[in-house]
Amino acid sequence: MGFNLPIYPIVPLVLALFAVLYVRSLSRWRARSGGRPFPPGPPTLPVVGNLLNTPGDRAWYAFQDLAAQYGDIIHFRTLGQSMIVLGSPEIINEYLEKRASNTSDRPQTPIINLLAQDTNLGLMPYGQRWRRYRRHFWQHFTSRAVEQYQSVTRSAAHQFLARLIEHPSEFNNHIRYTFLATVLKVVYGIGLTEDHDAYASTFEVSAEGVSQGFVPGKYIVEVLPFLKDVPRWVPGFGFQADFERWRAAVNDVKNVPFAHAREAMARGEGLDSIVAKTLAVVGGDDEPEDDHEEMVKGIGLVSYEGKHDPSRLFPKSGPALNSFSALQSFFLAMSQHPDIQKKAQAELDAAVGSGRMPEFSDSDSLVYVNAVIKETLRWHTVVPLSVAHATTADDELHGYFIPKGTVILPNIWACMHDPTVYEDPDAFRPERFIRDGKLDPAVQDPTSFVFGFGRRICPGRHFATASLFINVASVLHAFDITPALDADGRPVAIKHTQTPGFISFVPFPSQKSLDLCR
């Protein structure tokens, strides 16, 4: 027997039900937000919100333009997820530094586990576990601790020079190699002269996973996590094979150098590596036993593979690559400014002389070289939107409602290119940091921005700046950097731009673009 109920009485009932649900959710939202609006931002569409008008590639430029219209807190809401972009030093300082207790979380996605990145402290949610990992990591990278690595960093810089002499046009590869080798030595005790190619290629695959896996919207499991266990033979789930490959590489990155360090320790070698020192101290009362080894591996992983921003599209990431990008932009700036190079070299000649290479202890007398490094970090902003933070609770900022879980992006690039702070910001001009022959403390220091903010500030910053100093000073002391000449004998012109992505590089053309002379 069939039911032939007329449909028309149901329609008003359904409509009434929707109306009740709508009014209820509205009043709940009002209670939650205290009636405060979201911060201003571009217009939204029903349901999808800002899905179609959120800036994508190189978003830091568009965010700076939008700030002129909406102010220094811009709000985007996409499919129910809020994101704010902070556009000035004042608001960044207020929210990420002073109110860090609520703004130190990281956005979470199921992809983190699919890529075996759950022991990466750069991705961890704010909380006890992150605190423990960060504490162990930080004790090896304080400004004091980093002094112990000076001889390794210096030797790696000298090897870098030797490679540059041998194959000057491959400077991009040499830069990558020098940072990777330094980190492998400091973290795992793996020798600078050992063959690092196997590590480099595993690292490349794991970094590929990070770069592909976190592209927003690329994988359905990001929004429907329960699909993560569907096998790869199910139509539409072939991508699981990629995740398996990336996971395997990440696990190799965690396990292979770790095993190498362990074997060396068993022979009584490499006892001053970070892995050896951390293994010796883990195991405090608050630390779950089974997590010790994983934590040490995680500390190794983050040292050379690094962190990323799950909410953004980005290329291969990692601390070694942050430093790589900074040194790459130094080479470009020098090739474009022979006058600046000459000035820095004159300072090196006076302070160091021709009989030896620069030492860390020369730093105080190398004011101009230090200004070149500050200008390099400002001019080419390596991580233009930092790594996204997130709020852990509903909040209020300047009268606006900021819901729990809001993604926060500080526009570091905009702060470093604000013409009211740095006159002619696109010009490379180290002099802006110097007054009366000294570094001028009144000028906003890029190192207070480019390493991020608050409780999540880059714990590798002292290590990174020390490596940059010794590499920049050594290269300037040994070489003249000039643009390469094309087939017609004209200098190859390279315009300074920033590649899209989480870490932004200098897009050097594939042909030989620089020359180094001694």
Phi, psi values for residue 395, rounded to 5°: -150, 170
CB atoms closer than 10 angstroms to residue 265 = 17
Q: Does 316 bind ligand HEM (CB under 6 A)?
A: no
Q: What is the DSSP letter of 426?
A: T
- Choose the binding region for ligand HEM from 146-154, 225-233, 430-438, 445-453 (rule: CB under 6 A): 445-453
Cα–Cα distance for residue pair 476/341, rounded to 1 Å = 7
Cα–Cα distance for residue pair 77/72, rounded to 1 Å = 16
Q: What is the dihedral of CA 212, 214, 215, 219, to 10 degrees?
A: 90
Binding mask 459-478 for ligand HEM (x = CB under 6 A): xx--xx--------------
Selected binder of ligand HEM within 75, 154, 297, 307 (CB under 6 A)? 307
Q: Does 452 bind ligand HEM (CB under 6 A)?
A: yes
| Nearer Cβ to ligand HEM (343/455) | 455
Core vs surface per residue 147-185: b (16+ CB within 10 A) or e? eebeebbbbbbbbbbebbeeebeebbebbbbbbbbbbbb
Selected binder of ligand HEM within 457, 480, 496, 507 (CB under 6 A)? 457
Distances (CA, A) of 129 to 1, 26, 121, 308: 61, 36, 9, 18
Kindly give the pairing relationship between strand 81-86 and strand 407-410: parallel
The answer to whether 458 is a known ligand-binding residue is: yes
Q: Which helix (H) or strand (E) covers residue 483, if one does? A: strand 480-483
Q: Residue 276 CB, nearest distance to ligand HEM (Å)?
A: 17
| Nearer Cβ to ligand HEM (118/349) | 118
Q: Does 145 bind ligand HEM (CB under 6 A)?
A: no
Binding mask 104-143 for ligand HEM (x = CB under 6 A): -----------------xx-----------x---------
Selected binder of ligand HEM within 83, 302, 472, 494 (CB under 6 A)? 302
- Choose the binding region for ligand HEM from 11-19, 208-216, 432-440, 446-454 (rule: CB under 6 A): 446-454
| Nearer Cβ to ligand HEM (380/432) | 380
CB atoms closer than 10 angstroms to residue 34 = 9
Q: Which residue has the tokens 């063959």?
A: 195
Within 374-413, the residues that bind ligand HEM by CB under 6 A are 382-383, 386-387, 389
Positions that interact with ligand HEM (CB under 6 A):
121-122, 134, 302-303, 307, 319, 322-323, 326, 382-383, 386-387, 389, 450-453, 456-460, 463-464
Query: Residue ranges for the binding site?
Result: 458
Query: Residue ranges for the binding site for heme?
Result: 458
